[in-house]
Amino acid sequence: MAEFVPVAGAEDVGEGEIRAFEVRKTKVAVAKVGGTFYAFNDACTHLQCSLAEGDLEEVTVICPCHGSEFDVRSGEVLRGPAREPVETYETRLEGGGLEIKL
């Protein structure tokens, strides 16, 4: 059963940034857009490149390897070559820390 687990301090991810964290053996990317945190699997569904190493343009993360684009809010593919969405995780702030449901 999924439960909220700590990822980082709320101050560890700045506005307009993406950071990668390992949580329970899962590589998770966390982006902060408009004051809201979004968490998603760090591996692009095309060839597993790290999305945290890509660019963030508003709510779109662009894979650094082949340019696939995903919506950080839903994981939806906006532009290929990736065909499958990335998994997203619910986030919450708890006691100054960021947690995700994993």
pLDDT at 1 over 90: no
Instruction: Find the CATH number of the domain harbouring 83.
Output: 2.102.10.10
Where are the extended beta strands (E) located within 3-96? 4-9, 18-23, 26-33, 36-41, 55-57, 60-62, 69-71, 77-79, 88-89, 91-94
Phi, psi of 32, deg, nearest 5: -120, 120
| Count of structural domains within the chain | 1
Beta carbons within 10 angstroms of residue 96's beta carbon? 8
Amino acid 45: pLDDT: 98
Amino acid 90: pLDDT: 98
* Dist. CA 21–CA 9, nearest whole Å: 12
How confident is the model over 41-52, as pLDDT tens digits? 999 999 999 999
Amino acid 39: pLDDT: 99
Beta carbons within 10 angstroms of residue 35's beta carbon? 6
Q: Mean pLDDT over residues 31-37, rounded?
A: 98
Domain with 26 in it: 4-101
Amino acid 73: pLDDT: 98
How confident is the model over 55-71, as pLDDT tens digits? 999 999 999 999 999 99
Q: Quick one: DSSP state of residue 50? A: B
